[in-house]
Amino acid sequence: MIVTTVRFFGQYLLERGRIDHRQLLAAVEYQNVTNARLGTLALGKGYLTEAQVQRINLAQRTTDRLFGDLAIDLGLLTTEQLHELIELQKSHRIFLGEALIEKGFLTREEVEAELAQFRADQQASQMMIRGALIRLKDAEMVADVLDTVLKMFKRVLHENVLIEDCREGTESWMARDWTISQRFTGDLEATFSLNVPQGLLLRMASLMLEEDLKTVDELVQDAGQEFVNIICGNIAAKLSVRNRNAGLLPPVIQPAASLKPDEQAEVVHATLISINHQFDCLIQVHGSSAV
């Protein structure tokens, strides 16, 4: 079994007792108000309309491209406008440590000392994760999957996500509330599963549908399946670049307790974290003719 642990800086400070939950929430809210996305800045400058921003956001669901690069390719921004927006974004960006200082919760010296130790701990954990991936039978495919999951959470749901644990096998599998799975066919016979708490499923659906949803119904389940379909579609595109043909069956959502991992498959279980949620990614490789 391979185990690694990483945290967000705010979680690290909470665990060390340097701040409390109220202070962390206040600092994160201050960050969210201060930091602007590129699309928001483009709207403010009059370079893009709301419909154009939405068009670019939707395009990001089916391709591994940055917002600005897509905007240029679609002829909606010039290179000069993009550079101006990036510089504007940088000038207004504030990190959590700075937010804690400006809110008066920690001094600059305290933040710098804690950040130095946090970065050392995180670097060690990331090295262990890379080592774990290298030793897997199909390490390249697993790395593509995890990289795509992190990117899609960031670009589609605007959620920063980290790999907290990475383990081989199913002994650490713990059912949460809902599991959304999709099967790959062709050169790669594998199943990708996202195991999420109800709160995260509702957040997925709310952002996908642009509604404030409170109850898991058929509409919410469909949105969750569509998000996994976006992830797997991007994974399939990456595999095709590596000359591996990967088809996809429709995604399936079910109560997490119903999922029984294939004990005969090569399994990688990654525990992922966002600011408010812990969830899982399960990759089961049933067989591959092109490894």
Which residues touch 243 (CB under 8 Å, ≥6 apart)?
Answer: 290
Q: Are strands 266-273 and 278-288 parallel, antiparallel or unpaired?
A: antiparallel
Q: Which residue has the higher pLDDT, 158 or 125?
A: 158
Domain ranges, ordered by start, for the chain: 36-92, 136-288
**Pick from 270, 3, 4, 15: which is nearest to 117 by CA?**
15
Helices (H), the chain: 9-15, 21-34, 38-45, 50-59, 67-73, 79-92, 96-102, 108-134, 139-156, 198-209, 218-241
Q: What is the pLDDT of residue 281?
A: 92
* Among the ranges given (109-118, 134-143, 204-213), the one the predictor scored with the smallest mean pLDDT: 134-143
Mean pLDDT of 177-187: 92
| Predicted pLDDT of residue 50 | 93
Find the mean pLDDT for residues 273-291.
Answer: 77
pTM: 0.75
Judge contact between 179 and 281, C-beta under 8 A: no
The partner residues of 214 in beta bridges, in order of sequence, read none
Query: Residue 289: its pLDDT value, please?
Result: 45
Spatial distance between the Cα atoms of 24 and 97, rounded to a whole number of angstroms? 10
Percentage of the chain beyond pLDDT 70 is 91
* CATH architecture type of domain 136-288: 3-Layer(aba) Sandwich (3.40)
Element (H, E) at 269: strand 266-273
Residue 28 above 90 pLDDT?
A: no
Give me the mean pLDDT over the 198-224 stretch: 93
> In whole angstroms, what is the distance from residue 207 CA to residue 72 CA?
25
Query: Looking at 58-62, 97-101, 199-203, 285-289, which range is the least confident one?
Result: 285-289
Whether pLDDT at 127 is above 60: yes
% residues pLDDT > 90 (the chain): 47
Residue 146 has pLDDT above 50, yes or no: yes
Q: For residue 136, what pLDDT band results from cuts at 50, 70 and 90?
A: low
Greater model confidence, 246 or 68: 68
Query: Which carries the bigger pLDDT value, residue 139 or residue 216?
Result: 216
